[in-house]
Every structure is written in C-alpha cells, then in structure tokens.
Amino acid sequence: MRAAISHPFTRNKPLTDQPAIFRKSYAAFLFDMDGTLLSSIAAAERVWSIWARSHGIDVDKFLPTMHGVRAEDTIRKQNLAGIDVAKEVAWVMQAEIDDVDGVMAIDGIVEFLNALPQDRWSIVTSATKELAAARLAAAGIEAPKHIVTAEDVTRGKPAPDCFLLAAERLGVKASDCLIFEDAPAGIAAAEAAGADVMVITATHGHPMETQHATTGDYVGMTISTGDNGRLTVERRVG
C-alpha cells in the first residue's frame, strides 16, 4: 500500500513563496517511470526478494539499494562469484514483466501527461523497453513518443547519460528541462545533467531529505504552454 504523503504546497500560499520551478518555464519535461509516474514497488520487491534469497543475500538490507538503477548494475554490485550476470538479469527482467500485480498510476499523473505536447516530454527509465511497456500498460499510462530505457545507455543512473540522451532526442538541452524523479540515483543523475528537479514522494515510506521541490502526487498540478512553446508547471490554488 502506498504511504500517505502530505502535499507540501499550501494552497493559500502566494505563488512567489513556492519553489522556483513554479516560476520558471522549461523546454521539456523528463520523467523517471517507477515511483514517479507509477507505483511498482510491491511487484519489484517481490521479484527482487526472491532473487536475493536465492543468492543468500540479506533481503532487508538489499531492497533499499535496488530502486532507480538498472538490474545489471544492481546485480554487479553484489559481487557474486560464479554467476552469469546476463542470465541473472534475464531472469529478473522476465519475472518483473510477468508480475505487474498492483502496479498503478500515481494520482493525477494521467491528466498531467495528457496536457503535455507529445514532442515536449520523455520517459527516462532504468527499466528495459519490454518491462517499461508492461508496467505502463498495467498502470493505464499511454507510452510517449519518446522514451529512453536501460538498453539505450552504457552507463545507467546516477550517471546523467540517460537524461542527456532524452534531451538530445527532444532537441533541447538537459539543463533547460525539468526532471521528475523519486530515487537518489535518479536525482543524482538529474543534478549531474544540470536540470531542475521535482521529487515525487508517492512511494516513499519515510520522509526524504532533499534540496529540491517535492510533491506526493500530481493532483492539482497543471501545465501552461507559452506562445514560444515553453512549459510551466502550475498548481490549483484555493
């Protein structure tokens, strides 16, 4: 069950007192997927728990480390002797594709995405293309025209490569984008790309210390598009 997170933007608060992202316009928006567009934490942890136990890994210590990064990077970091990393990755990926029970959209995200021009946003995920398709479908989110997945980069998050590539495909600079993220590795990647960050806390079980603006969901958040095509995030007041 998703943890209840209070929305940090007091509705009667003057706009000038809100985080800077509400006072800026952007060339494009880049979204992480898991924990940012949709909640897949239960399904992911079911699969990774099975994998960890099969290798004698302490599940409770391991699970917090696997969010927001590529499966290959997670497995390699365990430094397990005598394993075939490619086979291990393939098992995890297929198990995650097969288990989408409980995957659901973050509140308000479908309406938020529907307000965006197709050529002004991208999903940037550490999941594979096939897994991303399965989870988006399960959550009822239409896949965008542009998406960067694990197969598209050599270095995964926290390296900024995925966000730099997504911005390049959109024909903009990453530093002129607003990136929506939820996990430390993704936030670090966004920072390294020079972008502003909105942290989504919908799946966080505990408060997260961050210098960036945060929100529990997308309810009450809307988009305005200027005559120059630039995007501004707005929030419903009152």
Single out the residue of 149, 68, 144 nearest to residue 113, CA to CA: 144
Expressed in percent and rounded to 5, the helix, strand and coil fractions of the chain are: 40, 15, 45
The residue from 17, 32, 196, 227 that is catalytic is: 32
* Alpha helices (H) in 59-108, listed in sequence order: 59-62, 71-76, 85-98
The residue from 17, 34, 152, 227 that is catalytic is: 34
Strands 104-105 and 38-39: antiparallel
All residues at 6 or more sequence positions from 218 whose CB lies less than 8 Å from its CB, including other chains: 106, 107, 108, 109, 111, 112
Query: Is 152 a residue of the active site?
Result: no
In degrees, rounded to 5, the angle at the alpha carbon of residue 100 between the alpha carbons of residues 70 and 148 is 35
Query: Is 161 a residue of the active site?
Result: no
CB 181 within 8 A of CB 187: yes
30: helix, strand or coil: strand
> Active-site positions?
32, 34
